[in-house]
Amino acid sequence: MNRIPIHQQPRVAPDLQLLTSYLIEGRMFDLYGTNTEEDGYTVLDVALTGTNISLHPVIHLQLFDDLTKWCNAKLPSAAELRRASEREGRVERAIWHRQAA
C-alpha cells in the first residue's frame, strides 16, 4: 500500500456540515454533508473521527446512500431541529427575564 504524505491527503470540504458520528466495525467515523427541510440529510463525505481527512476516494457510493438513508431514518429533521432551537431560545429568554426582574 502506498502512503500519501499528510499534506497531500484529501480533506473534508469546509462547507460540509458535521452531521453525526457513526460506528462501523468498531471504529467511529464522522459523517459530513447537508441537512435541508426539502431534501433531508445527504451524506457526502466520511472521515475517521478526530481527523479531517476525507475517505470519499476509498468508499463505495452505495455506502453513502446507505448512510444517507440511516441519517434520514434516525436523526431529527431540519424542521425538528429548528423547532427545538426555538423552544430552547424561548426558555432561555424567559429565564433571563425572570433573573432581570
**Sequence-ordered list of residues with C-beta below 8 angstroms from that of 52, at least 6 positions apart, any chain:** 11, 12
- Kindly report, residue by residue over 64-76, the tens digit of the pLDDT: 999 999 999 999 8
DSSP 2-56: PPPPGGGS-B--TTSEEEEEEEETTEEEEEEEEEETTTEEEEEEEEETT--BB-G
Domain ranges of the chain: 6-76
Q: How confident is the model at residue 6 (pLDDT cuts 50, 70, 90)?
A: low
DSSP summary character for residue 76:
P
pTM of the full structure: 0.74
Measured CA to CA, the distance from residue 92 to residue 42 in angstroms comes to 31
Share of the chain above pLDDT 90, in %: 51
Report pLDDT for 49.
94
